[in-house]
Amino acid sequence: MKKNNSKAVLSFLFCVKILFTGMGMAENTSIPVSVGVVLDLDSDLDGRIALSCIEMALSDFYATHGDYKTRLVLNTRDSMKDVVGAAAAALDLIKNVEVQAILGPTTSMQANFVIDLGEKARVPILSFSATSPSLTSIRSTYFFRATLNDSTQVNAISALVQAFKWREAVPIYVDNVYGEGIIPYLIDALQAVDARVPYRSVISPSATDEQIVEELYKLMGMQTRVFIVHMYRSLGTRFFAKAKEIGMMSEGCVWIMTDGLTADLLSSPNPSVTETIQGVLGVKPYVPSTKEIQDFRVRWKRKFQQDNPYIIDAELNIYGLRGYDAATALALAVEKAGTTNLGFRKANVSSSSSTDLSSLGVSLNGPSLLQALSNTSFKGLTGDYHFVDGQLQSPAFQIVNVNGNGGREIGFWTPKGLVKQLVPSNGTDSTSVSGISTVIFPGDTTAIPKGWGIPTIKKGLRIGVPVKSSLRQFVDVKRYPSSNMTIVTGLCIEIFTTIVERLPYVLPYEYVPFDKPDGKAAGTYDDLVYQVYLKNFDAVVGDITILDSRSLYVDFTLPFMDSGVSVIVPIESHNIENAWFFWKPLTWDLWVSSLLFFVFIGFVVWVLEHRINGDFRGPASHQAGTIFWFSFSTMVFAQRERVVSNLSRVVVIIWCFVVLILTQSYTASLSSLLTIQQLKVTDVNELVNKGEYVGYQKGSFVLGILLGLGFDKSKILAYNSPEECHELFSKGSGYGGIAAAFDEVSFIKVFLSKYCSKYTMIDATFKTGGFGFVFPKGSPLVPDISRAILNMIGGDKMKETQDKWFANQTSCPDSGTSVSSNTLSIKSFWGLFIIAGIAALSALIIFIVMFVHQEGRLVLRPSDSTTSIWSKIRHLFSIFNQRDFTSHIEVNDRNGIHLPSMGTANQSGNSAHTEIHGYPSYAGCDTSRNSQAPQVTSADQLTDPNQERPVKDNQRSNVNHETPPRTDQRSNAIIHQRTKSYQYSYSL
């Protein structure tokens, strides 16, 4: 009984509290604030779902914020899925209702117009479903994207492409602002992970099923098998249905849906729809599954069913959650902005203006509400809610895989990469394929597709091959009209066939000759390569050189053969029966220089030896002959004259070394000329400077190299075969022929194998990239074939293949050992000549200085002013021409008998040799043999250096000398022989 009484009292008190609370609220009158809602409500389920969520958001908000003074009043307009309808609805709400803000519109195209109206009237526009990045370019401060920008998901998509190592992807998108807005960002993101976009498939919003199928067949005809779909649900549903119908939802294909389509198709799964997208990957913003969302979902389901009893099994989607949070953010901002200026300032317009835009007012509360929205931050159903530059931010995207009747979560994307769980495992986030769960791809397989495949509507790859009239060892096209067959063979063809057999998959292909109806080549190699860019061929196989200019529009595999451009020149055989053949080892400048130095060195030695060495004295003709004889005899080291001066010895030693080098070099060069063939051309610059005619293989890129080297185009001739090249060489340059031919090294080797004895390749190679196979830009076949090429090169198969096709090729010796390019010139010996010249000049200068210093003290003394300078110089020359008896140098005669220096007495006490009129005298001779010996001046009397030198005979007739004692017969014979030997050797 007591318990019942207490319960009654508590109930009474509770009722009283409710009564008084209601009276207080009645006294606190709220201020209504009009806001607009523009959605597609007529036939769009998302619009109705979003509207119900907005209404529930305001109801829930004011139930928990009863003390707020403001109350949002919704003014709903139906845009009727039309851009003009959305703009008209927004204009009506701003002009007639004077709303403070607008929630909506639904699509990006509608928002494009409505945003401009909001900017003009200063009315904030909050769209929770317009995701196109292009809306950002409008740069309206009154536009708030209450959802995620589509550009935020492109990194998640590119991370998937990178993780599975797919190299190409084709975006398929709807042809409107929504579809086009994401494409620039998506392409940039794919390129950042080295994936290219070879094609963009654009689907019209109003496309028929036939048009969709036509576009799908076009995709089937391409190699790429990774497709990224970005479109609305209605179009996407039909698109996937047709893709499955024609067999494109099978094994080998990869389909990725953007977040809009993923959310639309998986938020309320329809078995008929999910059946067509089995194995498809999708990305969508990550929204944690919290208890608040679960409770809200139950309440919303009940309310939506009451408001729309004819709609069955509707499911809450991301747009409803975004609408709920957007309404909550707007309610918070309106309360924060206050109610001071809720009116509009009318525009001043003339009465004649008939447009609604001209009379559009401006919201006085707009700037305050703008500031409040920018600073609004709270915990919403979708997570942390705040605007950054008018945009919502998402920390992660969820990766789903469609299996069964829904999407299976396989991982997440964060700015750190792909992860299996948002909570790091072992403190690290994985960014590889292992970072997400196993994916079941279309065809119910877990095997990762390559991302490309052979076009299913073609027989195989159309591979272009060049048609060649020569050098068919590389590529040879043979036609058989009787059987209408074309057989392609050659080294390049066999290498490609071997490589394709090593691929881990089957690659069907067919060879298509690049020719005209008459069987001739349809163009140059550049034209053939360009056909791949024009998509006329899927690849090109042949002796195609990898060039930078070609790589701008096609991709090459790694080279399967090294290459380069070199020069062919004819070999010149010398006519050794030519009488003047001996001149050839040395150039004319070296011959002249050698001759001048022989004379010069002989002259220097004569100057140094003339006063002290009797071998270099005598009549003028004798001395001139001695100069030439001595210098030229050094060539064979047969000089008989002795040199006694140290300066002369230094000069002769150095000159003998130079002569040794010259003679040995001449001998070697002459031997080379007699045994080794010579080149007519040795340098490319020589060809350019002389204006020679040169040749190249017709259609080759070598023409560009020749023009770059400076050759005149009029002097460049083309040939089609080795035979034509040989014929041009035979004619000669300037007579309709050529002096040299430029071609690729591989082709030159074939040419030389036929004409080895007549031509050679000089060492002037221009490097190229080698021979490679041609594919379209970004072709996924390039890395696989390149790896197969490396594998083939590393083994013996490549050598065996080359030996097979060049088995009959004659081996030519290297040009470096079979030809000699240059005769000897002054350039090879100028260093030796400089050394010899400096030594000779230095010795000559030293001698002149010493001579002038010794003899010129008296002759050139200043006190003798009456004598002219010329006379003094002549006097010096006369002194130079006299024999120097004061020299200490001893001279041996030619018979090996030692003679003491003039001016020195012999140890036996015999008189020294004397000289009158340049002839030697002797003492101790038999008087019967020389009874009329002239009187001479004793050498003992000339030992004083300052003593006056001997004068003429008539001035010295009174000079007496002591008659030497008589000697034995043997001594007389020796003296007589000595006197006779030197009778004509010494003179003044």
Torsion angle, alpha carbons of 53, 57, 63, 64, to 10: 140
For residues 292-322, b (16+ Cβ closer than 10 Å) or e, as one string? ebeebbeebeeebeeeeeeeeebebbbbbbb
Determine the Cα–Cα distance for residues 824 and 669; give it in Å rounded to an integer: 7
Q: Are strands 377-380 and 383-388 parallel, antiparallel or unpaired?
A: antiparallel
Mean pLDDT over 683-692 rounds to 82
Q: Which pLDDT score is estimated for 496?
A: 94
How many other CB atoms are found less than 10 A from the CB of residue 460? 13
322-344: per-residue pLDDT in tens? Answer: 999 999 999 999 999 988 888 89
Q: At residue 184, does pLDDT exceed 50?
A: yes
Cα–Cα nearest to 78, from 98, 59, 104? 104
Q: At residue 897, does pLDDT exceed 70?
A: no
Cα–Cα nearest to 731, from 517, 877, 570? 570
Q: pLDDT confidence of 858, banded at 50, 70, 90?
A: low
**Residue 939 structure tokens:** 């050498």
Residues listed for the chain: 988
Residue type, 97: V
Where do runs of H (alpha helix) occur along 676-807? 684-690, 702-709, 722-731, 745-754, 781-794, 797-805
* Lowest mean pLDDT segment, chosen from 295-299, 654-658, 865-869, 874-878: 865-869
Contact 175, 202 (CB under 8 A): yes
**Residue 506 structure tokens:** 């089957």
* Lowest mean pLDDT segment, chosen from 51-60, 74-83, 293-302, 713-722: 713-722
Say if residue 123 is exposed, middle or buried (CB neighbours under 10 Å; 0-12, 13-18, 19+). buried
Q: Which pLDDT score is estimated for 585?
A: 73
- 0.85 exceeded by the pTM? no
Mean pLDDT over 471-487 rounds to 85
The residues pairing with 228 across neighbouring beta strands, listed in sequence order, are 171, 256
918-951: per-residue pLDDT in tens? Answer: 334 333 333 333 433 344 433 333 334 434 444 4
DSSP state, residue 94: I
Q: Which pLDDT score is estimated for 620?
A: 73
Q: Which pLDDT score is estimated for 863?
A: 54
Q: At residue 731, does pLDDT exceed 80?
A: yes
Q: What are phi and psi of 241, to 5 degrees?
A: -65, -45
543-572: per-residue pLDDT in tens? Answer: 999 998 999 999 999 999 887 888 888 876
188-219: per-residue pLDDT in tens? Answer: 999 999 998 989 999 999 999 989 998 998 88
Q: At residue 966, does pLDDT exceed 50?
A: no
Q: At residue 982, does pLDDT exceed 90?
A: no
Where do runs of H (alpha helix) occur along 351-490? 366-374
Question: How many angstroms separate the Cα of 46 from the Cα of each of 308, 426, 545, 722, 770?
Answer: 13, 41, 59, 77, 61
Mean pLDDT over 127-150 rounds to 89
Torsion angle, alpha carbons of 157, 158, 162, 165, to 10: 70
Residue type, 46: D
Determine the Cα–Cα distance for residues 473 and 861; give it in Å rounded to an integer: 93
Q: At residue 289, does pLDDT exceed 90?
A: no
Q: pLDDT confidence of 533, banded at 50, 70, 90?
A: very high
Q: pLDDT confidence of 886, banded at 50, 70, 90?
A: low
598-639: per-residue pLDDT in tens? Answer: 888 878 888 777 777 767 777 777 777 777 777 677 776 666
For residues 809-841, b (16+ Cβ closer than 10 Å) or e, as one string? beebeebeeebbeebbebebbeebbeebbebbe
How many other CB atoms are found less than 10 A from the CB of residue 63? 8
DSSP state, residue 737: B
Q: At residue 909, does pLDDT exceed 80?
A: no
Helix (H) or strand (E) holding 509: strand 509-514
Q: pLDDT confidence of 452, banded at 50, 70, 90?
A: confident
Determine the Cα–Cα distance for residues 541 and 466; give it in Å rounded to an integer: 8
- Kindly report the average pLDDT of the chain as a whole number: 78
Helix (H) or strand (E) holding 16: helix 2-27
Determine the Cα–Cα distance for residues 451 and 241; give it in Å rounded to an integer: 21
**CB-side exposure of 314: number of CA atoms within 13 Å?**
28
388-404: per-residue pLDDT in tens? Answer: 989 988 779 999 999 98
Q: Which pLDDT score is estimated for 540?
A: 95
Determine the Cα–Cα distance for residues 1 and 939; give it in Å rounded to an integer: 178
How many other CB atoms are found less than 10 A from the CB of residue 190? 24
Q: Are strands 555-556 and 774-775 parallel, antiparallel or unpaired?
A: antiparallel
Mean pLDDT over 218-230 rounds to 90
Tell which wins on pLDDT, 57 or 652.
57
Determine the Cα–Cα distance for residues 710 and 700; give it in Å rounded to an integer: 17
Which of 55-59's residues contact partners 24+ apart within 8 Å by CB, and which partners?
56/296, 56/299, 56/300, 56/303, 56/324, 57/323, 57/324, 57/325, 57/326, 57/327, 57/328, 57/331, 58/327, 58/331
Contact 641, 615 (CB under 8 A): yes
Where do runs of H (alpha helix) occur along 31-176? 45-64, 83-92, 108-121, 154-163
Contact 267, 315 (CB under 8 A): yes
Contact 579, 802 (CB under 8 A): no
Cα–Cα nearest to 920, from 941, 897, 899? 899
Determine the Cα–Cα distance for residues 252 and 220; give it in Å rounded to an integer: 12
Q: What angle do CA 71, 73, 78 make, to 5 degrees?
A: 155
In percent, the amount of the chain with pLDDT more than 90 equals 32
Determine the Cα–Cα distance for residues 821 and 807; give it in Å rounded to an integer: 31
C-alpha 722 chain-centroid distance: 34
CA diameter of the chain = 196
| Cis amide leading into 466 (omega within 30) | no
